[in-house]
Chains A and B, each alone.
Chain A
Amino acid sequence: MSGLDVRDLTVRFGATAAVDHVDLAVPAGSVVAVLGPSGCGKSTLLRAVAGLEVPASGTVSYDGQDLAGTPTHRRGFALMFQDGQLFEHLDVAANIAYPLRLRRRSRADQRARARELLALVGLEGYADRLPATLSGGERQRVALARALAVEPRLLLLDEPLSALDRGLRERLAGELHDILRAAGATAMLVTHDHDEAFAVADRMAVMREGRIVQAGTLEEVWSRPVDGWTAAFLGYATVLTGDRAARLRELVAPGEPWESVALRRSALRVDPTGPLTARVEEARVTPDQIRLQLDVDGAGSLPGVADPGSDVRVGARVRVSIDTSRIALIPSDLSGVEP
């Protein structure tokens, strides 16, 4: 196949397997996010793909060619670190032109390409600045431009936005998405932030304790989390199992085989025509909606929302409806079972 293909890869640090029999594909032209909590081995996986870690077993190949004997600098990849790792002694233009200089491109070429990339990442006029004078977001853009300079056949992004503050992170995530598409890049992104993964990638793989527990398109993973842990990690507010889930069974897909159900915060909504009854435990006004904690009869304490301006008081009894587009059915919950 064309693109990156990781087969049965294991990387060990002493006795522990940081990456444990991982299979992963990054088809050419796609952006794949590896999502997992810190310490799950996702960065090690990325480093192994880059050739910075030596695998204990398994293969990393690109366009069908095994890369086992290919040192890092001959793989034709580019890696962008969480903190950019700009070369502090070079100015912005020289940082971006660095990979071009290695390949002995002409000076005119280097200048032109640096200008082009600065425009791509929205930093025109920054060519002569030193990295120390840049803000965190600007540094990451320069790092991205540098990584894109020689049109790497695979771009590796290690938590590219995690070091930034929230507002900037959200804006840059959108820009990163557009820049990667504009550059036609094939990219592998590792992150612990599901928002970042959803904003940037078209496919994702969820990693936990060295293993890939689920992989697919964003839609597939989001709508069918493989277990409760994955659902919680993807940003679902609550996962219901057992008796509490049973109360909801007749309301959502009674015919299908599922054991647990994951609910987003806005899955339960105060609705006078709703099928469920509940008592309001907490109510907090936010700009978009009223956030509630509801004691749902038969299902226990669950988060919910009400439209702004609606009259809900703590202690009041209300009727509640379920928005089935904001829940996910989980076939069997293995979250408590160690692999």
Chain B
Amino acid sequence: MTLRVRWGTVAIAAVPLTALVLFFVYPVVGMLARGLWPDGSLDLGAVTEVLGRPRTHRVLWFTVWSAGVATLVSVLAGLPVAFVLHRLRFPGRDLLRALVVVPFVLPTVVVGVAFRQLIAPSGPLGSLGLDGTATAIVAALVFFNISVVVRTVGAFWEAIDTRREEAAAVLGASPWQVFRTVTLPALVPGIVSAASVVFLFCATSFGVVLTMGGLRYSNVETEIYLLTTQELDLTGAAALSILQLVVITALLVLAARVRRSPGPVDRTTKRLPRPRLRQLPVLLWAGLVIVFLMAPLASLLSASLRQGDTWGLDNYRALGTTGAHNALLVPATTGLANSLQIAMVATVIALVLGSCVAFLVSRPGGGRPMGVLDGVFMLPLGVSAVTVGFGFLITLDKPPLDLRESALLIPIAQAMVALPLVVRTLAPVLRSVDDRQRQAAASLGAGPLRVLLTVDVPVAWRALIAAAGFAFAVSLGEFGATSFLARDDNPTLPVVIYRLIGHPGAENFGMAMAASVVLAATTAVVMFAVQRLRVASVGAF
């Protein structure tokens, strides 16, 4: 019996592990090998030389500084929003919950463009003189990551038994004392978990820093990109990639240590309270943060509706063309169709692999091996998408694995990016199933498959659909890896947007804005549908 279960476990683990090795480890190692064995022999002197460069130090410092500040601001800005969206009841709350997640799944390119649109000298906030500053980069990183804090801490906040806070209040604690002595200690694991993930995202952020940093600011990720594509210094790129990998592995281990899933939410407790007047400061704070989140989107929308001095839908009509001066090889609408199709395939792949991983890591008594498995599948979150994308290019273009012509190349790359998010959505829900229910079912004569179908699936199907929607939205917006792999005659929508911005002309810019709005709206609709499923673990870490 035990032996059979073990074999089953190995079989289920084999599928995602094989995929991870082939489509993540192999490309990344290939990419690193190219840099470390430039002439067929290991050259570690070059690595230490790269790490000793003053420019490398500057890049490292900026990476740590920008990620640290952005993490701190994200947490401070996200906490009140988490409270308002997860502990109060008011009309439109579900819509707001979905809108808050939209920045996270937006293509980084769109985020960069939306921010530039807002703070460019000609934009609504041009007078602040933020264009091209480090402050603007941090603001964009915060914009991108607030939802991680809101979702993660919000899930913890929802799980707190309100009677514990009431117990404190009845014992004489003022609302602030209740927060400090009861609520905050219960939120700390969620805050630490969210902060470590946000730091990870900020430190490996690519699209935002690339579009907003210009030549003045560069983090490790964009530096790898510049070294690889502009200076062809593969040794330098490999050295930085290794450094990044080491730091990120350490961070993931740390995050796994502190990660604790919020307790089960008691769905039978009474309805959440409505906002009260004395909560006005928190409400205002949350309102300001939401305005901050919506402003770039609104600015994007208004730019997409303007052509010169007139308003209209011309930019949207232009999406059926290849742009001014034929900036594109195919109409933008083809890019949208491609994106949808690719995202669909990527979702299926991520869902199959993610379900296997989530199933395994959520079995009780898995112990250390399962903890490691859990952590290994988080790696794609933190490894440079540039390294992955470029690694795909140089390793998957020749036997034994030649996928250059395969329609699956981009979906596979995107699936690897979405995989950790699928696992993070599914595993907590599966873990919440009391193992005694499985034992009860087994004792009544249910085989392993029937236990799965009658105990796990009824609990997990919502999470499964939610994870699918989330993976779909993330795939739609994926840019880092896709930008290396998409060909100009078959681009995805984010790639189309990047191309359009790179070409001169107001028409192309207008088209880029319209395409960004279409992309943002599509992801928003998907996320709203996901939101309706009420799975707390979506977008939480």
Residues of A bordering B, CB below 8 Å: 13, 47, 50, 52, 71-79, 81, 85, 87, 89, 98-99, 101-103, 146-147, 149-150, 156
Instruction: Choose one: A13, A47, A89, A99; the contact of B171 (CB below 8 Å).
Output: A99
Q: Does B233 contact A (CB under 8 A)?
A: no
B172 near A73: Cβ-Cβ < 8 Å: yes
Does B163 belong to the interface (CB within 8 Å)? yes
A99 to B181, CA, bound (A): 11
Q: Answer whether A98 and B163 are a contact pair too, CB < 8 Å, given A103-B172, A147-B171.
A: no
C-alpha gap A78/B292 in the complex (Å): 42
Inter-chain contact total with CB atoms closer than 8 Å: 65
The answer to whether A87 touches B171, judged by C-beta atoms less than 8 angstroms apart, is: no
Do B172 and A99 touch (CB < 8 A)? yes
User: With A85-B161, A102-B171 in contact, is A72–B185 under 8 Å at CB?
Assistant: no
CB-CB under 8 A from B167, the residues of chain A are: 79, 81, 85
- B161 neighbours in A (Cβ, 8 Å): 85
B164 at interface, CB cutoff 8 A: yes
Docked-complex contact B185 and A89, CB < 8 angstroms: yes
Q: Is B434 located at the chain interface by the 8 A CB criterion?
A: no
**B168 interface contact, C-beta 8 A:** yes
- Chain B nearest CB: distance from A141 CB in Å? 15
B279 CB to closest chain A CB (Å) equals: 13
Interface pair A87/B169, CB less than 8 Å apart: no
- The 6 closest A-B CB pairs, nearest first, are A79-B170, A85-B167, A99-B171, A72-B169, A89-B185, A73-B169
Of A13, A101, A102, the most chain B CB neighbours within 10 A belong to: A102
Query: How many residues from B make CB contacts under 8 Å with A?
Result: 20
Across the interface, A85 reaches (CB within 8 A) one of B164, B175, B181, B270, namely B164
Of B166, B171, B186, B270, the residue contacting A98 (CB under 8 A) is B171
Give Cα distance in the complex from A52 to B185, angstroms: 22
Cβ–Cβ < 8 Å partners of A13 in chain B: 270
Contacts of B181 in A (CB 8 A): 87, 98, 101-102
The contact sample of 29 A-B pairs, CB cut-off 8 A, is A50-B166, A52-B169, A71-B169, A72-B169, A72-B170, A73-B171, A73-B173, A73-B177, A73-B178, A76-B172, A77-B170, A79-B167, A79-B171, A81-B163, A85-B164, A87-B164, A87-B168, A87-B181, A87-B182, A98-B168, A99-B171, A102-B171, A102-B173, A103-B172, A146-B171, A147-B171, A149-B171, A150-B171, A156-B170
Q: Which residues of A contact B270 (CB under 8 A)?
A: 13
Instruction: Identify which of residues 174-204 in chain B touch chain A, using a CB-to-CB cut-off of 8 Å.
Output: 174-175, 177-178, 181-182, 185-186
Check A102–B170 contact: CB distance below 8 A.
no
When each residue 132-171 of chain B gets 1 if its CB lies under 8 Å from chain A and 0 otherwise, what string results? Answer: 0000000000000000000000000000010110111111
- The interface residues of chain A, by DSSP majority, are classed as mixed
Separation of A76 and B185 alpha carbons in the complex (Å): 25
Select from chain B the residue with minimum beta-carbon distance to A103. B172
> Complex: how many Å from CA A74 to CA B173?
8
- Given A73-B173, A79-B171, 15 other A-B contacts at CB below 8 A? A47-B166, A50-B166, A72-B170, A73-B171, A73-B174, A73-B177, A73-B178, A74-B172, A78-B170, A81-B166, A85-B167, A87-B181, A101-B181, A147-B171, A156-B170
CA–CA, A254 and B270, complex, Å: 51
Q: Give chain B nearest CB distance to A67 CB in angstroms.
A: 13
User: CA A77 – CA B168 in complex, angstroms?
Assistant: 11
Is there contact, CB below 8 Å, between B170 and A150?
A: no
Complex Cα distance A13/B273, Å?
A: 12
What residue in chain B is nearest A84 (Cβ atoms)? B167
Given contacts A85-B161, A99-B171, contact A72 B182 (CB under 8 A): no
Q: Enumerate B101-127 residues with CB–CB distance to A below 8 Å.
A: none
Indicate which residue in A81, A85, A102, A156 contacts B172 across the interface (CB closer than 8 Å): A102
Please give the distance in Å from A326's CB to the nearest CB on chain B: 40
- Once the chains are docked, how many angstroms separate the CA of A47 from the CA of B174? 17
B166-A79 in contact (CB<8A) = yes
Tell me the smallest distance from the CB of A237 to a CB of chain B, in Å: 33
CB proximity of A162 to chain B, nearest CB, Å: 15
CB distance from A13 to the nearest CB of B (A): 8
Complex interface: chain A residues within 8 A of B186 (CB): 89
Give the nearest-CB partner of A83 in chain B.
B163
A156 to chain B: which residues have CB within 8 Å? 170
Contacts of A78 in B (CB 8 A): 170-171
**Which single residue of chain B is at the shortest CB-CB distance from A101?**
B181
List chain A residues, Cβ under 8 A from B166. 47, 50, 52, 72, 79, 81, 85
- Closest residue to B174 on the A side, CB-wise? A73
For A81, give the chain B residue with the smallest CB separation: B163
Pair A85/B163 contact, Cβ less than 8 Å: yes
**Cα distance A156–B172 in the bound complex, in angstroms:** 14
Which A residue's beta carbon lies closest to that of B186?
A89
Closest chain B residue to A79, Cβ basis: B170
Centre residue among B166, B175, B177, B185 by max chain A CB count within 10 A: B166
Asked if residues A50 and B170 are in contact (CB atoms below 8 Å), the reply is yes
Chain B residue nearest in CB terms to A53:
B270
In the assembled complex, the Cα of A33 lies from the Cα of B182 at a distance in Å of: 30
| Chain B residue, CB-CB nearest to A158 | B163
Task: Give B275 Cβ to nearest chain A Cβ, in Å.
Answer: 14
Which B residues lie within 8 Å of A75 (CB)?
170
Which B residues from 250 to 273 make CB contacts under 8 A with A?
270
| CB-defined contacts of B182 to chain A, threshold 8 Å | 87
**CA A47 to CA B185, docked complex, whole Å:** 25
Please, which residues of chain B bring their CB within 8 A of the CB of A146? 171
